[in-house]
Structure 1
Amino acid sequence: MNTRTPQAVLSALTLLALTGCTGAPTSQPDASETTKSEHGGIAGAAQVAEPQLHLVAIDAAGKASMLDLLNGTKAQLDPVQPPINVTSDGRYVFAANPHGVEIIDSGVWTWDHVDHFHYYRAEPAALGTVAGEGAATVATGLLSTAGTTGMFFPSSGSAVLVDNSALSEGTISETLRLEVAPHAGLIAPLGDGAVVTEADANGKAARLRAIDAGGKELTAAECPAAAGTITTRAALVIGCADGAVIATSDGAAPALDHVPYPAGAAAPATAFDARKGRPTVAGIGKDAGVWLLNTREREWDWIPTATPVLAAATVDDDAGHVVVVGTDGTVQVYEESTKERIATTTPLMPKTLASPELTGKVELTVDGGRAYVSAPAEGVVFEIDFADGARIARTLELPTQPVHLVETGR
């Protein structure tokens, strides 16, 4: 049988036996205030014993499908408009096109209670569209049934927050829509409000404003060439040309702290990725190397890589695995503490690398036991066991070409 048993399952089952539940991270509402039923469950969803990990693939025409990584079941999803980019918070799939963001509920998710997790499964569904002009930048939080999701539309300058609790009930509800100067910006959830970019006189994102739920500015910070964001258990991260701003909130007073790059730093990171929620994230720029940002210690580190980087993500496990996809099509594994390359694959995607359009679509996603790397031109996804010499555990095919790929159930 074509199955996968994640390494985290055994420990997760043990943790499910715990009876105490701690508060949610500082960048998210407290779980006791946001759920109508126990710990992220909703009506019609079944709580299950292990994470329901799935891959969702969307092709260039907008056809979408799912693959259950546990039992190999494949399913077609409702199509979307041809997307420019696709994002996920581990449950919802946000497909951005030039005139809006279409939302798919994959029907699988994890409720992160910090010291333990709850896992749910329901039917997938198409939820509708959030309107806006220009392919939106989407910023997500940690909890799919609480808090908000941010969508920034660059052509119209619309900064939107969508209520996740309403999404979990099948409804799109905007809690905030700000109209600002059009620019390539972002709005990222923080506490009950958000952090939103502000453009300079040249129309470039240069300043960050922390706002409350009604859009009132609470504090601000400079952030030249603001780009890239990720939410960890410790904080919200937004990349700047001279470092990053780490944003936290205790529910009333947000703080925007600047963490500069070390002296003589290489090119700045313009995107961040990590195993969901983990505090150390990979910052991806243009050089042959990866930035590591520890959002708890507020420290940068640099790992030189064998090749320039197409994609990178930190697993942030005890072994400190960092997974990198090189421009030569190899998947490389590094050790965070020693910065040594400990494993690599042979080149995996010659057809994709021969297509400039598809090379930029190579996606990497990591969980506690595996990394998944898309090869759009080859029409497959490689499942990599990063802890076992970068072994290719499976070569997966979905019903639709993985031009866009996300992992849900996390």
Structure 2
Amino acid sequence: MSRPPHRSPHRAAFAPAAIALTLLTATALAGCADADPSGSPAPTASDGVTGDGHGAIAGAQEVAEPPLHLLTVGDDGTVQQLDLLDESVDELGSLDGVTSTATDGRFLFAASSSAGTVDVVDSGYWTRSHIDHFHYYRGTPREVGTLESDGGGEATFSPGTATTGVFFTGSGEAVLLETAGLADGDMTERLRVETTPHTGLIAGVGTGSLVTRADAEGESANHVDLLDADGETIESIDCTAASGSIETVVGTVVGCADGAVLALPTDDGVADLTRIDHPDGTTAPAATSFANREGRPSVAGLAGPTSFWMLDTREQSWKLIDAETPLQQVTAVDDADGHVLALTDDGRVLVLSGERGEILSETAPLLDETTADPSLLAGATLVADQQRAYLNGPAENLIYEIDFADDARVSRTFETDRAPLFLAETGR
């Protein structure tokens, strides 16, 4: 990650209320180890600790509410982070050749298919679950490091609580990064295994991992192997055209052409594998990726031009729902009302019933320019947290905040000084 050029503080407009966003003086990740973006000294474990202090983490400040931020990668590679509380923007540094990104809610994983690399950036904001309650932290944004692969090509990501899986499609290398190591600023690899080059994935489960295995031709994955901590195969399960993984509060999902594999944690530290087949008689295309509000049991994935799958990992059941409008993305909010959010081909955000697929509310078209350019539309991301949804418009130089519980009202609009090609929510 290169040090960004010095820029004087400037202001970006905030719509619709025309409130200004103050851009703080840029601090490169490589040079910010001694201070946080505000210029304050690095916090200590005792600074700002709430409650009895049992959640204290050395080098981090515990705060009273989720420190939600939006992290973007611009068209020139600049990484910026918007504080959703005070609307300040920090420029964190620059990345080269980013072609895809992912996040676990704290770290940004940015792949470059041409270089065969993945850069890891610590946003400095995160939430830790203690099952019955949560702790919220503010630390120091920094570059963690770069993961490399010979002949790597594009990378697929499987973010999780304890690990993040990175699979290089060009080389077939599958790497499991430890979250605890990343938090210490180290690229700690729990496991690295060699497989046949294919569009595959690796996902951590307990002390082990799930790794796809290609057929003889090496073009697609038709099996999912459960590996132990040493990379030895414990179990294998059929999963034709394995694609897409997501960690839920119940277990880890890998999509298959006719359903999914669910890995359920066990007392011995690894997992049990079970198949969740599509309902009999359904012929809809399988979901190749899944999305949800983090920490919930239900996930959603597209099932053709106008339909989507809902998978309840707790009930181990599928629903096929027709929204009767062309869709680009879906994500399961999985709240008390069972909302599903969708981005349409014409750039509207829909709030859908997760039971019937009916449109409960919708925005006007928000991405007129972006939808006209498929290469830009591929980077538009719809992400939901407990109260709001966010959508980046790369061609519009905008980020939208949407109150999906209030008739899909656009509650805030943030202008950006660069095209926000990629978006991630951090602090959650």
In structure 1, how many angstroms separate the alpha carbons of the residues matched to 2:104 and 2:418?
21
Return 87-96 or 251-260, whichever deviates more. 251-260
In structure 2, how many angstroms separate the alpha carbons of the residues matched to 1:112 and 1:289?
33
Is the contact between residue 42 and residue 169 of structure 1 (CA under 8 Å) also seen in structure 2?
no
Paired letter, 1:83: V
State the Cα deviation string for residues 38-85 of structure 1 (Å, max 9, x = none): 54x532110011000000000233211000011101010111122110
Query: 1:47 aligned to 2:62?
Result: yes
- Aligned residue number for residue 6 of structure 1: none
In structure 1, how many angstroms separate the alpha carbons of the residues matched to 2:96 and 2:229?
30
Is the contact between residue 50 and residue 62 of structure 2 (CA under 8 Å) also seen in structure 1?
no
In structure 1, how many angstroms separate the alpha carbons of the residues matched to 2:236 and 2:79?
40
State the Cα deviation string for residues 317-376 of structure 1 (Å, max 9, x = none): 111111000001111001223432110111111100111211222101000000101111
What does residue range 237-316 of structure 1 map to in structure 2 within 5 Å? 237-252=253-268, 253-262=270-279, 263-316=281-334
In structure 2, how many angstroms separate the alpha carbons of the residues matched to 1:347 and 1:206?
39
Is the contact between residue 294 and residue 385 of structure 2 (CA under 8 Å) also seen in structure 1?
yes
Return 298-307 or 94-103, whichever deviates more. 298-307
- Aligned residue number for residue 62 of structure 1: 77
Is the contact between residue 340 and residue 354 of structure 2 (CA under 8 Å) also seen in structure 1?
yes
| Aligned CA distance change for structure 1 residues 273 and 316 (closer, same or farther; 3 Å) | same
Structure 1 position 399, deviation (Å): 4.3
Structure 1 position 17, deviation (Å): 9.2
- State the identity as a percent: 42
- Aligned residue number for residue 345 of structure 2: 327
In structure 2, how many angstroms separate the alpha carbons of the residues matched to 1:251 and 1:57?
39
Is the contact between residue 50 and residue 63 of structure 2 (CA under 8 Å) also seen in structure 1?
no
Query: 1:157 aligned to 2:172?
Result: yes
In structure 2, how many angstroms separate the alpha carbons of the residues matched to 1:258 and 1:271?
17
Is the contact between residue 151 and residue 160 of structure 1 (CA under 8 Å) also seen in structure 2?
yes
Structure 1 position 100, deviation (Å): 1.1
State the Cα deviation string for residues 106-142 of structure 1 (Å, max 9, x = none): 0000001222111000111111101121121111113
Aligned residues: 376
In structure 1, how many angstroms separate the alpha carbons of the residues matched to 2:209 and 2:73?
29
- Aligned residue number for residue 197 of structure 2: 182
Query: 1:138 aligned to 2:153?
Result: no
- Aligned residue number for residue 402 of structure 2: 384
Structure 1 position 173, deviation (Å): 1.1
- Which of the residues 208, 217, 227 maps onto 1:202? 217
State the Cα deviation string for residues 253-278 of structure 1 (Å, max 9, x = none): 52111111112241110110000011
- Aligned residue number for residue 138 of structure 2: 121
Is the contact between residue 65 and residue 400 of structure 1 (CA under 8 Å) also seen in structure 2?
no
Paired letter, 2:164: T
Partner SS state of residue 228, structure 1: strand
In structure 2, how many angstroms separate the alpha carbons of the residues matched to 1:139 and 1:314?
18
- Aligned residue number for residue 224 of structure 1: 240
In structure 2, how many angstroms separate the alpha carbons of the residues matched to 1:286 and 1:62?
33
Query: 1:96 aligned to 2:111?
Result: yes
User: Any stretches of 5+ residues in structure 1 without a counterpart?
Assistant: 4-15, 20-36
In structure 1, how many angstroms separate the alpha carbons of the residues matched to 2:174 and 2:183?
21
In structure 2, how many angstroms separate the alpha carbons of the residues matched to 1:126 and 1:370?
28
- Aligned residue number for residue 409 of structure 1: 427
In structure 2, how many angstroms separate the alpha carbons of the residues matched to 1:93 and 1:285?
28
In structure 2, how many angstroms separate the alpha carbons of the residues matched to 1:397 and 1:210?
45
- Aligned residue number for residue 182 of structure 2: 167
In structure 1, how many angstroms separate the alpha carbons of the residues matched to 2:274 and 2:51?
35
In structure 1, how many angstroms separate the alpha carbons of the residues matched to 2:198 and 2:322?
32
What does residue range 332-371 of structure 1 map to in structure 2 within 5 Å? 332-371=350-389
Flag as ranges the 4+ runs of structure 1 deviating above 3 A.
16-19
Structure 1 position 401, deviation (Å): 2.1
| Aligned CA distance change for structure 1 residues 81 and 272 (closer, same or farther; 3 Å) | same
In structure 1, how many angstroms separate the alpha carbons of the residues matched to 2:190 and 2:76?
31
Is the contact between residue 397 and residue 417 of structure 2 (CA under 8 Å) also seen in structure 1?
no
| Aligned CA distance change for structure 1 residues 233 and 122 (closer, same or farther; 3 Å) | same
Structure 1 position 299, deviation (Å): 0.5
Partner SS state of residue 103, structure 1: strand
**Rg: which structure is higher?**
2
In structure 1, how many angstroms separate the alpha carbons of the residues matched to 2:337 and 2:169?
39
In structure 2, how many angstroms separate the alpha carbons of the residues matched to 1:380 and 1:306?
28
- Which of the residues 391, 395, 404 maps onto 2:413? 395
State the Cα deviation string for residues 216-268 of structure 1 (Å, max 9, x = none): 11111011111111000101000011111111121425211111111224111
User: Any stretches of 5+ residues in structure 2 without a counterpart?
Assistant: 1-16, 21-48
State the Cα deviation string for residues 10-31 of structure 1 (Å, max 9, x = none): xxxxxx9999xxxxxxxxxxxx
Is the contact between residue 84 and residue 96 of structure 1 (CA under 8 Å) also seen in structure 2?
yes
Is the contact between residue 50 and residue 64 of structure 2 (CA under 8 Å) also seen in structure 1?
no
Paired letter, 1:176: L
Is the contact between residue 242 and residue 260 of structure 1 (CA under 8 Å) also seen in structure 2?
yes
In structure 2, how many angstroms separate the alpha carbons of the residues matched to 1:139 and 1:61?
26
- Aligned residue number for residue 112 of structure 1: 129
In structure 2, how many angstroms separate the alpha carbons of the residues matched to 1:69 and 1:295?
31
Paired letter, 1:353: T
Is the contact between residue 209 and residue 218 of structure 1 (CA under 8 Å) also seen in structure 2?
yes
Paired letter, 1:47: E
| Larger RCO (CA under 8 A, 6+ residues apart) | 1
Partner SS state of residue 181, structure 1: coil
